[in-house]
Structure 1
Amino acid sequence: MNDRAPAPGALALVQALVNTLDIESGADLLDTAEGRKPFGLAAPDVPAARELRESLRAVCLAHAGHPPHRDVTPLGRLLARAPLVVSVDGHDGAATLTAAEPAPLLSRVAAAIAQALVDGTWPRLKACEAPACHWAYYDRSPACRGRWCTMSVCGARAKMRRYRAK
């Protein structure tokens, strides 16, 4: 659905996870082994991944100034269970934050969010305001005021509805 470029760096993982569900059609990539593969998920991991996905979507909606789409587990509560490791290079003092266990999706998402907080990109990951969409997109607009995942579909529909309402 989204014609925008993917989010930068590790934030692309978060965007990809949120976008595993097409709200309009109901299609969920986490229902298939192929759809779970990029996230390293097995079938028993799906309920927790869905809970994480919807908590992330709620935060993306908040970044865009929209209320949550439904009641979700607060993202902070989920991320508190994600073990992370700070590594410091002895030669140059460079520090990196990584997932303690690279396979668990929760730790990888927590590391991606931590990096996005450091580089200032976290608030730019938003969710489309269209209720039938809520697709995650990375807002590259200078003023960071994007509202829709794509102007050609969701933006055009919203503008047409406003025009007809007049």
Structure 2
Amino acid sequence: MPQTAEEPCPPSACDSSALLLGFVNTAPLGDDQDRMTGPEELSAWLAAGGRTGLDAVVTGADVAAARELRDAFTMIFRAHSGCEDGEAALPAAEDYLQRIAVRYPLTPRLTADGCHLVPAQDGVLGGFGALFAAAVDLAARGAWGRLKMCKNPTCYTGFFDKTRNSSGLYCSTSCSSRAAARAYRSRAKSG
């Protein structure tokens, strides 16, 4: 696959993509453990995402909701990468996000520099709302489809595709090289 020049990521698109990718990358990858197994991990993720000042206690139900939301975003990013299982699960993921979006209302914040959406709630609900605000920001910039999951079956890390033609399939050149070597060995065995 020919290398393409990378486009720079506009700062606010980078902030939005970093928030979403930081969320989906809490999922277990390879031999890693799930990084969102309890209220402490969800609280830490919320604090890292700028959702500080939580007055509410994070519960196990919040963790279960976070994992469902993470799974839906993951399926969409897998579909952006052209993964077959992502395409098959895409309608269910989109339906889920449509149904729960009303729980996390957004409000416009107008400034002299422009307008952007922010969560209308604080705490855990505001943290989840921030994910929807980030998705809207990326979609408005035409960058929503650039959030992908690595196609290397031993990786599946979420990444922002910075290639000029949005053709990136792997999170790094090392994952791309491993996948190419695996495909070569497979062809050599069958040939």
Instruction: Name whichever of 65-74 and 7-16 sits farther off.
Output: 65-74
Kept in 2: contact 1:30–1:36 (CA 8 A): no
Runs of 4+ residues deviating >6 angstroms: none
Aligned to 2:54: none
Kept in 2: contact 1:88–1:94 (CA 8 A): yes
Instruction: Name whichever of 42-51 and 72-81 sits farther off.
Output: 72-81
Aligned to 1:162: 183
Aligned to 2:143: 121
1:125 CA drift (Å): 0.8
Kept in 2: contact 1:57–1:134 (CA 8 A): no
Aligned to 1:94: 114
> Under a length normalisation based on structure 2, what TM-score does the superposition of the two structures give?
0.72
> Under a length normalisation based on structure 1, what TM-score does the superposition of the two structures give?
0.82
Instruction: Name the CA distance, whole Å, in 1 between partners of 2:110 and 2:65.
Output: 31
SS in 2 for 1:137: strand
Percent identity, aligned pairs only, is: 29
- Bigger Rg over Cα: 2
Aligned to 2:71: 54
The RMSD of aligned alpha carbons is 2.6
1:26 CA drift (Å): 4.2
Match of 2:20 among 4, 14, 34: 14
1:127-166 mapped onto 2 (5 Å cutoff): 127-152=149-174, 154-166=175-187
Aligned to 2:4: none
Instruction: Name the CA distance, whole Å, in 2 between partners of 1:149 and 1:43.
Output: 33
Instruction: Name the CA distance, whole Å, in 2 between partners of 1:96 and 1:160.
Output: 44
SS in 1 for 2:184: helix
Instruction: Name the CA distance, whole Å, in 1 between partners of 2:169 and 2:71.
Output: 19
Q: Which runs of 5+ in 1 are unaligned?
A: none
SS in 1 for 2:84: coil
Instruction: Name whichever of 9-18 and 59-68 sits farther off.
Output: 59-68
1:24 aligns with 2:30: yes
Higher helix share: 2
Count residues with an aligned counterpart.
159
